A and B are shown apart, each in its own frame.
Chain A
């Protein structure tokens, strides 16, 4: 949508003096007229400069370890020409008015890329207004002025005025129509390893994590929930629980019906106490009888049986190009096949799930770390029957989220409990609750077939079966490698446990199949896997043909996909060129070392390649991952220290899933419960990691997730190179390697 700058930014005088720029969004004017005038001031992403020259930035993006709370103000401060030490962050909280007006969720590795232009525009606009104020005061032309480190300076003299000195005058000026952005070569903050703004608090034990909430008269809650999905509470005996010191109340919690069925809340028994420990202890003393219901038959075996059945029922391909089935029957054509399995995975966030709620009869306030406050409002409103404009969410920082805190379950529960007891309450899930009632990374089976003719790769068939329906983070329809005949099929079965987003969503699973299978095809054809990818990416995209209708008034879907693929193939090629120029693949070759390669785009914006070096050893696992070399094309890297950290973190995350992951369901119950049986990678298991970013002046793309998906296939391909064994499922066990 096009808007003039004047519509986009609104200037006003800060209370107490100073400049305040508020972002207004198309459509917002109407909302403000209907609501209160000060609604505008509550909008996110506004910038204030007070009379002391402090630059105050309002953050609505959720801070969960990805660093957006530092990265966004860096971009803004860069264009503004601010003194970084005077940049302060305030958390804007959440308001219902945002819904449908701005991007109110944090996820999809999208915060920096989605706000890049906006942050620059706000910074540049304020900078020009400060310059105009100085020009007026000095009676000089604006082009004789520069801005640096919180001052407007006059060229050729030593005259300067600070932002604080100019803020009041600037706030009386009109918002300029057009502003120019700085050139990347002039950047002084963006591209530098600026320290995380939360670090100073973290190292002394401060930090506003949800689990640290404390309110006057607050009580503590824990819930014993039915261990089987959608099972029911039959009866409970709380006589022993009520004898526990500190336990004050025990009551049943029905299956709550939130606005979205996927956020179904399990029936359970709530224990209220004067401390978290007393609530946990009271819970252990409960005697509960469940009607486990029909999902008691759920198990990993059942999921795989359903997959087998679904595998016989594929209908039309969702994507079709050429004629795979006709080609298959041609003379001289051979077919190779492989099937890859990705089990459910748990989030296992370090900060256990929690929420604090205060329902007082008319309103409900929530303090919670959430990636999706609008979902909290929507679902709490329905579940506790309160108008959504009476709900206020105070977003707290999260001790990790990775997709898990996208779902509003703890908020719904805490709000319900607070409504029952009419008191503020902090609900803390135990570690066991968090693992057993997770929103799991979906189970997936990925079947791949390739047609080979005259030593050429001429056709590919992809059949994906998973425990979530089409549309939830689907992947592989934007398959980047050129092949003449291609069919892609999708099928969903019911997972019978909560399914959810997990760092890199289903790209993690689909990528494992795609990148292992391309490696298998390369080996079959006797080609180097990196050179083979280069060959497949060299051909231009032809007509794209989806069996999916175009939405009314939108660009044809096939055209969107074609543009998308064209861009992403360019990034695949730039990553491969960088690897070639620096001979990274060749350098990884040495006697006794298995080399593996894989690359992936995450939602098509960032491309990441991993080169993995492994060697057989006599450790418990049977193999040692020696080194991982990562190359990413993600446009401008706003903060290389954070960027590298996200790559290292994604690698550690994916290695945990590869080595120890997988959830076992037996008789409907998740068998894993804590870190002893849902193991995570430890400090002594981290390989050497070398990270390269392809130099770029393009706008930044995402970094929180893209290094996750190519890790497993790169390791599996390296294990094949070292041992000759094709492992096609996670987790990788000692017996798979040594078999």
Chain B
């Protein structure tokens, strides 16, 4: 066990964990931030997506030893009051059914729009195909991303 200094959602946090502990489980079980979800543990479903230095990353496969000095943002830190343009678009389109995968979807979508403010359908597909939704809200995710892109444009 070692102590790691982390920067999560703009706050400094100290965590005691084994070096190989995935960031996901530090976020959930140590820091009790439950917006980041466990889905597969092998980077196949995207439910655990967080931003590390602005890049969307599957936190279930990132060991904690690589996290010091990195800027980690989870869904809880994406915006102060849940009003990031992507969150607003998710509410406007009313995307969720069960909602479980949606925080990962939102984190992937927010990172996409940071990089490509006006993505084409193909660019949305490429950025989002790592995020599984078993309820099948994909058509609404497409609409919400387009809506958020439009808001950003105006």
Contacts and interface: CB of A to CB of B under 8 A. Distances in A.
Contacts of B128: 683-684
Interface string A638-649: 000100011011
A399 B99 contact: yes
B149 interface: no
A266 B129 CA distance: 35
Contacts of A65: 96-99, 135
Nearest to A275: B29
Interface stretch (A181-189, A306-314, A674-682): A674-682
Contacts of A198: 96, 99
A277 B100 contact: no
Among A351, A646, A674, max chain B CB count under 10 A is at: A351
A397 B1 CA distance: 35
Nearest to B25: A277
Contacts of A348: 134
B42 A195 contact: no
Nearest to B122: A684
B68 interface: no
Interface string A680-702: 11111010010000000000000
B139 A400 contact: no
B102 A203 contact: yes
Interface string B29-48: 11011111111111011010
B72 interface: no
A584 B36 CA distance: 43
Interface residues of B, number: 58
A276 interface: yes
B134 A653 contact: yes
Given A682-B129, A684-B129, A205 B35 contact: yes
A430 interface: yes
Interface string A186-222: 0000000101101111111111010110100000100
B135 A431 contact: no
Nearest to A401: B98
A67 to B, nearest CB: 7
A411 interface: no
Among B44, B87, B94, max chain A CB count under 10 A is at: B94
Among B38, B103, B134, max chain A CB count under 10 A is at: B134
A613 to B, nearest CB: 17
Nearest to A650: B136
B132 A675 contact: yes
A706 to B, nearest CB: 14
Interface string A552-581: 000000000000000000000000000000
Nearest to A208: B34
Contacts of B98: 64-65, 350-351, 397-401
B134 A203 contact: no
B91 to A, nearest CB: 6
A428 interface: yes
A386 interface: no
B111 interface: no
A676 B131 CA distance: 13
Interface string B91-112: 1001111111111001000000
B132 A682 contact: yes
Given A350-B132, A431-B41, A645 B102 contact: no
B82 A351 contact: no
Contacts of A206: 35
Contacts of A351: 37, 39, 98, 100
Interface size class of A (residues with CB under 8 A): 35 or more
Contacts of A275: 21, 25, 29-30
A437 to B, nearest CB: 16
B125 interface: yes
Interface string A65-92: 1110000000000000000000000000
A712 to B, nearest CB: 15
Contacts of B44: 674-676
A553 B63 CA distance: 66
Contact of A651 (B33, B75, B97, B136): B136
A253 B134 CA distance: 32
Among B33, B126, B138, max chain A CB count under 10 A is at: B138
B1 A680 contact: no
Contact of A205 (B34, B94, B135, B139): B34
B135 A649 contact: yes
B22 A683 contact: no
Nearest to A244: B18
A223 to B, nearest CB: 16
Contact of A67 (B34, B35, B97): B97
Contact of A674 (B40, B82, B106): B40
Contacts of A648: 136-140
Interface in A454-506: none
A684 to B, nearest CB: 4
B133 A199 contact: no
B82 A204 contact: yes
Given A350-B47, A430-B41, A674-B40, A203 B87 contact: yes
Contact of A203 (B34, B37, B106): B106
A204 B81 CA distance: 8
Contacts of A397: 98-99
A278 B82 CA distance: 32
A281 B1 CA distance: 14
Nearest to B129: A682
Contact of B138 (A245, A428, A652): A652
B36 A205 contact: yes
A431 B35 CA distance: 18
Contacts of A286: none
B139 A203 contact: no
Contacts of B106: 203
B40 A675 contact: yes
A200 B82 contact: yes
A681 B141 CA distance: 14
Nearest to A399: B100
Contacts of B32: 214
Contacts of A681: 136, 138
B29 A202 contact: no
A350 B133 contact: yes
A401 B99 CA distance: 12
29 contacts: A65-B97, A195-B91, A199-B96, A200-B82, A200-B91, A201-B99, A202-B90, A203-B102, A205-B33, A205-B35, A207-B100, A212-B34, A245-B18, A276-B29, A276-B38, A277-B25, A399-B101, A400-B134, A430-B41, A645-B97, A645-B137, A649-B137, A652-B138, A675-B39, A681-B136, A683-B133, A684-B128, A686-B139, A689-B139
Given A65-B99, A645-B137, 10 more contacts: A64-B98, A204-B75, A275-B21, A281-B18, A350-B39, A350-B134, A351-B100, A430-B41, A649-B97, A682-B132
Interface of A: 64-67, 193, 195-196, 198-207, 209, 211-212, 214, 220, 245-246, 275-278, 280-281, 348-352, 397-402, 428, 430-431, 641, 645-646, 648-653, 674-676, 680-684, 686, 689
- Which 9 A-B pairs have CB atoms at the shortest separation, nearest pair first? A205-B35, A399-B100, A652-B136, A65-B98, A202-B99, A684-B125, A649-B136, A277-B25, A675-B44
